[in-house]
Chain A
Amino acid sequence: MPEFWINMGPQHPMTHGLWNMKVKVDGETITDAKPEIGYLHRGYEKIMEVREFQKNVVLTDRLCYVSSITWSHAYCLAVEKMMGIETPERGQWIRVISLELQRIASHLMWLASYGPDLGLLTGLLWCLRERELFLDLIQLMSGARMNQNFPRVGGVRNDLPENFGAMCRRSIEHFLEKVDNEYPKIFHESKVFRMRTEGVGRISAADAINWGVTGPNLRACGVNVDLRRLDPYETYEEIDFEPQVWHDGGAGDSYARFVVRYNELKESCGIILQAFEKMPKTGPYRVKSPRRAEGEGYAKTEDSRGEALFYVIGDGDDRPYRVKIRSPVFCTMAATPMLLRGNKLADVVAILGSVDVCVGEMDK
């Protein structure tokens, strides 16, 4: 049959944002694919050069509105390394708690959008219902449901509210009960869900590393890399948790990516509960940061979607001279043609939904 290109996007229910996936099909089989991105390019790296270090936190929040705290935290960490300051211990614990709350909210948003991709509207409703629990907690902590502007260079904006640990425990208890007993009925045990996801969009571990795929997508290939373990930041060293890696056969397909993220939900709950036990009850949560800084700083963190890297250069002014944002989705997007090739056109949604695309951070 003659091959031809099909545009999936920029306006398409599959894309979760504004980008275009061009796929070349031979009948029903995909022979080639070409992502086209940049529709949402806002020039972050340029804008940040004229704003002060502290004011840029507002911008980095909006890199990915689903996962704001993890992004502004990565930026703050890089600036702190450049300035040579360190967050007080209680501030670090508060950061860990906020990061994990945000990770759960982000993964639930992904799971909620992955459901309708496969025609599973119940998944959307259930996951958004549970996400509300965590957005409430985040709102209680920072005052906002989205774009929290919570981390600061040198710490966090405010201390945890009173009795926050008990509220987290109550929500997590309720959530874990759902995750353990209710969710598997529509995901793991659903024959349709497994038929759609198992064996599609496979990528080998060697290819994934070479193409720069990171985070849950890489761990689904069986590579045990979690930056919270490999290059620990904040207080993750003191926390006992297990990076979620897919060990069984069939690694690197959509189902493996789903299971890794799903298990991370439970793991993050465990981290939050541990953090409340181990954190000091009182103490400072923020240090004053210098206004001007010179030098270079770099930090990489385990974002909800992979390795987030900030490289900040200061030239002695109160603004960064250069900021580089490494977006995990941007790098994963380079590997998507490999995921798609050889699969059927109907599986594009099942594959691209599972890599968790966030256009805001991809286009910067």
Chain B
Amino acid sequence: MSAVAGHVPQVTGRPVPGIEKEVLEQLRAAFGPKLSDVKIVRPQLLEVSIDRKDLVPLCTYLKNTLGFEHLSCITAVDWKDRFEVVYHVENYYNGCMVQVTARIPYDDPKIVSLTGLWNAANYHEREAWDLMGITFEGHPNLERILLPTDFKFHPLRKNFAQEVDRQYITRRKLRGGT
């Protein structure tokens, strides 16, 4: 890959065919057994899972060596027995997207912040803290961003009930029944 060779690659705006296999090989060579659930979903999209303690080395490698300069999105998922934080990292030089999933135990919702690598992580991590209650260690300003500062809950968690379970109006209900 040209990013490894040292010279600055040009953004051509077009995808490089087969790039996901190349990235996968490089990740396997660098991290090997630390990666789990590795799969190529479709061209240009690669999925890997990793323990939360190896997240920063992996992301540093992705950004500085492989040229994944764009952090697209950070998603926090509540699986009831564990949390997952999903990072979508994109390479503008070849159009490859890597989806990195980090598992977090439910009783200890902490993960290291990536604001040192990508400034874009700043708002995404604040949002994940606000709505899902995951603490990002090392974040410069971990405050609520969308909800009021005195809000007590993290509403995207599954144990935060919604008013109604399902939004159905059945025909019987329309006719006045229960």
Contacts and interface: CB of A to CB of B under 8 A. Distances in A.
A50 B92 contact: no
B145 A212 contact: no
A233 B163 CA distance: 37
B150 interface: no
B164 interface: yes
Nearest to B130: A38
A319 B77 CA distance: 15
A37 interface: yes
B92 A230 contact: yes
A300 B44 CA distance: 12
Given A55-B167, A223-B92, A209 B145 contact: no
Contacts of A324: 73, 75, 86
Given A38-B146, A224-B11, A330-B123, A307 B72 contact: yes
Interface string A229-252: 111100000000001010000000
B27 interface: no
Interface in A201-246: 209-212, 214, 223-226, 229-232, 243, 245
A312 to B, nearest CB: 10
Contacts of A232: 15
A331 B123 contact: yes
B135 interface: no
Main SS of chain B's interface residues? loop
Contacts of B70: 209, 212, 214
Contacts of B12: 224
A22 interface: no
Contacts of A309: 72-73, 88
Main SS of chain A's interface residues? mixed
Interface stretch (B48-56, B102-110, B114-122): B114-122
Interface in B7-34: 11-15
B100 interface: no
A50 B166 contact: yes
Nearest to B155: A46
A50 B162 contact: yes
B165 interface: yes
A45 B92 contact: no
Contacts, number: 103
Contacts of A334: 119-120, 122-123
A116 B36 CA distance: 54
Task: Using C-beta atoms within 8 Å of the partner chain, give the interface range for chain B.
Answer: 35 or more
A364 B155 CA distance: 14
A210 B120 contact: yes
Contacts of B122: 334
* Interface core residue of A37, A55, A209 (most chain B CB under 10 Å): A209
A333 B123 contact: yes
A46 B77 CA distance: 12
A43 interface: yes
B13 A322 contact: no
Contacts of B124: 331
A2 B170 CA distance: 64
B99 interface: yes
Contacts of A229: 13-14
A223 B13 CA distance: 8
A253 interface: no
A331 B165 CA distance: 32
A50 B167 CA distance: 7
Contacts of A194: none
A298 B99 contact: yes
Contacts of A326: 72-73, 88
A331 B166 contact: no
Given A55-B167, A309-B72, A46 B162 contact: yes
Contacts of A37: 145-146
12 contacts: A38-B146, A43-B155, A45-B156, A46-B155, A210-B120, A211-B120, A212-B72, A226-B13, A229-B14, A300-B97, A311-B86, A322-B77
10 nearest CB pairs, A to B: A212-B120, A224-B13, A38-B146, A324-B75, A326-B73, A41-B146, A334-B123, A230-B95, A211-B119, A209-B69
Interface of B: 11-15, 42, 44-45, 69-73, 75, 77-78, 86, 88, 92, 95, 97, 99, 118-120, 122-124, 127, 131, 144-148, 155-156, 160, 162, 164-167
